[in-house]
Structure 1
């Protein structure tokens, strides 16, 4: 009896430790997501507003002595403010629940259509019943692939993105491949987007890896167990 109780105690403690570990991973990923959004708000929104204000000041300065130059300054300011509005609209969409009733596939297709613009060519493949995925799995995998696509477009200058998601009874497997400039392994900051993606995958008891080399593009791989223990 004492041995049985000792085994149960050890199992419970191990389960609690594992749960705490996974919760910490999820919280870490969410903190990194907030830091990324704060950086984007500073770099894209506040910077744009600052330049627009500068343009309006220059318009006022030149209004009497050089009306034509003053008009160019206000036109530039209006263009900057329109960019800021567009950026804020994108942030508003991202702050909503990422995966709604349409599920993971629809959310991914919608993001890729609206945020990955020509000349980048996007190909997406799915196999299996993505609609049957648990909501929290769909949402976290969406956030991982969204960050991977954003990183590729922003930093790798690709001409092609290929996304693949496969679901079976045992696991979800997802990949995102680009043909961009690539990078040296270990060259990315651990506080960057790769860290947040890895934390999200680990929070699902899953696996995350990247393969890249300068000039050879980048491949992101995610595996999440479904109804089976992680290997």
Structure 2
């Protein structure tokens, strides 16, 4: 009973952090950009306010879904489109983001796509919030038996050991989501050396794939 309660608390913490925390973080960031552009580029400032409104609406919807027996949102149907929409929403002209998806998403169960999206979104959000990068490279490779993704930035970097000791919810949530799918999240970084996050998720394989040979 105690273990079941602990696991449920961890699940709720992940959902709050990744679904509710994300929206508020985006809204806060875009409000700051709107204020920065207000005097020099009013049109861009107004566009940022539109993103703020969208982020708040998404957060409110996620909160309604969570409070309705804590059901998660509808699973992601297209990982590439969801990531592109997210990157467009948080985009800044001062940051170059390269993004590439290879493989057939039909090989991936919708729940796996959903979890992969949340992990990668949190990775980019962490980079933008804490890393102060000028370049982020995001790559996703999908095969019938595995999904492999990586996100690399040239930001200020950090000591992963210190992050673990501080008990950061973001990295813990990313690792737990991957582990629940039998996968892993590996973080490589050092102060001043940028950050690399690698995601691996094994897939069961679809008809005609290696697992069915």
Superposition TM-score, scaled by structure 2 size: 0.69
The partner residue of 1:191 within 158, 162, 168 is: 168
Distance 1:221 1:91, change over 3 A: farther
The partner residue of 2:84 within 103, 109, 133 is: 109
3-state SS, counterpart of residue 162 of structure 2: coil
Matched, 1:157 2:132: yes
Structure 1 stretches of at least 4 aligned residues deviating more than 6 Å after TM superposition: 82-85
Aligned partner of 1:204 in structure 2 is 181
Mapped to 1, the partners of 2:17 and 2:140 lie a distance apart of 28
Unaligned ranges ≥5, structure 1: 1-19, 49-81
Task: Say if 1:104 and 1:131, in contact at 8 Å, map to a contact too.
Answer: no
The partner residue of 2:116 within 123, 137, 141 is: 141
Summarize deviations over 1:140-169 as a string: whole Å, max 9, x none.
Answer: 000000001001001100001111100112
Aligned partner of 1:71 in structure 2 is none
Task: Say if 1:161 and 1:177, in contact at 8 Å, map to a contact too.
Answer: yes
Residues 54-133 of structure 1: matches in 2 within 5 Å?
86-93=51-58, 95=62, 97=74, 99-100=76-77, 103-133=78-108
Aligned partner of 2:198 in structure 1 is 221
Summarize deviations over 1:69-95 as a string: whole Å, max 9, x none.
Answer: xxxxxxxxxxxxx98885352143353
Summarize deviations over 1:75-124 as a string: whole Å, max 9, x none.
Answer: xxxxxxx9888535214335354624xx1111111111111322110101
Unaligned ranges ≥5, structure 2: 32-46, 63-72, 206-210
Task: Say if 1:98 and 1:107, in contact at 8 Å, map to a contact too.
Answer: no
Structure ID, larger Rg: 1
CA RMSD of aligned residues (A): 3.4
3-state SS, counterpart of residue 211 of structure 1: strand
Superposition TM-score, scaled by structure 1 size: 0.64
Summarize deviations over 1:9-33 as a string: whole Å, max 9, x none.
Answer: xxxxxxxxxxx99x938x6244234
Q: CA deviation at 1:227?
A: 1.5
Mapped to 2, the partners of 1:85 and 1:105 lie a distance apart of 23
Task: Say if 1:166 and 1:173, in contact at 8 Å, map to a contact too.
Answer: yes
3-state SS, counterpart of residue 191 of structure 2: coil
Matched, 1:31 2:2: no
How many aligned positions are there?
A: 173
Task: Say if 1:205 and 1:225, in contact at 8 Å, map to a contact too.
Answer: yes
